[in-house]
Amino acid sequence: MAAQGTIRERARDIVEEFGLFDDWMGKYEYLIEIGQGLPPLDPLYKTEAYRIHGCQAQVWVRPEMKNGLVFYEGDSDALITKGLVALLIRVLSGQPPQDVVETSLEFLDEIGMQDHLSATRRNGLASMVRQLKRFAQVHSNKT
C-alpha cells in the first residue's frame, strides 16, 4: 500500500485517474471502488481512541511513526467515506510529517469532492484531515 512519490505527485495521479470520468456518477463509482479496495482496519483499533468524530458514519484512523515518516491506516462503515479515507491515506501515508502539516489537499477540489471538506457535510472529512495533521504536527516538532 505504501505508494511512491511526494504528496503533490500522488495527488496528481489521483486527479488524472478521476479525470477519466466525465460525470459525477463515474467519479463516485470510482471513489466507492477505491474505498472497497482499502484494507480493513484491524477491529482491535476500531476503538474510541482512533475514532474521528463529526461524522454520520463511523470513521477510524490509526496513525503511526516509522523511520521518521507518518503512516496512516483507516476504515469506515460507509463506502463513500471509506473512499475518502482511502484517498487521504494514499496521499499522506509514508510522508515526512512536516509535509503532511503543510499540505493543502487541493486535489480534492480538482476531483470534485471539495464539498465533502466543508464542515457542514457530516462526513467528518474536515475533522479527519485535522486529526491527521495534528498527529503529524506533534511528530514534526520532535524531528
Residues assigned a catalytic role: 55
Residues 133, 129: Cα–Cα separation, whole Å: 6
Q: How far is the CB of 30 from other proteins (least distance, A)?
A: 11
**Of residues 113 and 136, the one with the C-beta less far from other proteins:** 113
Cβ proximity to other proteins, 100 vs 111, nearer residue: 111
Q: Which residues lie near other proteins (CB under 8 A)?
A: 24-25, 28-29, 32, 56-58, 77-81, 122-123
- Long-range contacts, 106-113 (Cβ 8 Å, 24+): 106/11, 107/11, 107/12, 107/14, 107/15, 110/15, 110/18, 111/14, 111/15, 111/18, 111/27, 112/18, 112/24, 112/27, 113/27, 113/31, 113/84, 113/87
- Measure the CA–CA gap between 130 and 127, rounded to whole angstroms: 5
State the minimum distance, in angstroms, from the CB of residue 24 to other proteins.
5
| Locus of grid cell 485535522 | 130
Shortest distance, position 55 Cβ to other proteins, whole Å? 8
Q: Which of 8, 122 has the CB closer to other proteins? A: 122
Report the distance separating Cα 33 and Cα 82, nearest Å: 10
Smaller CB separation from other proteins, 58 or 137? 58
Whose cell is 506533534? That residue is: 138
Nearest distance, CB of residue 78 and other proteins, angstroms = 4
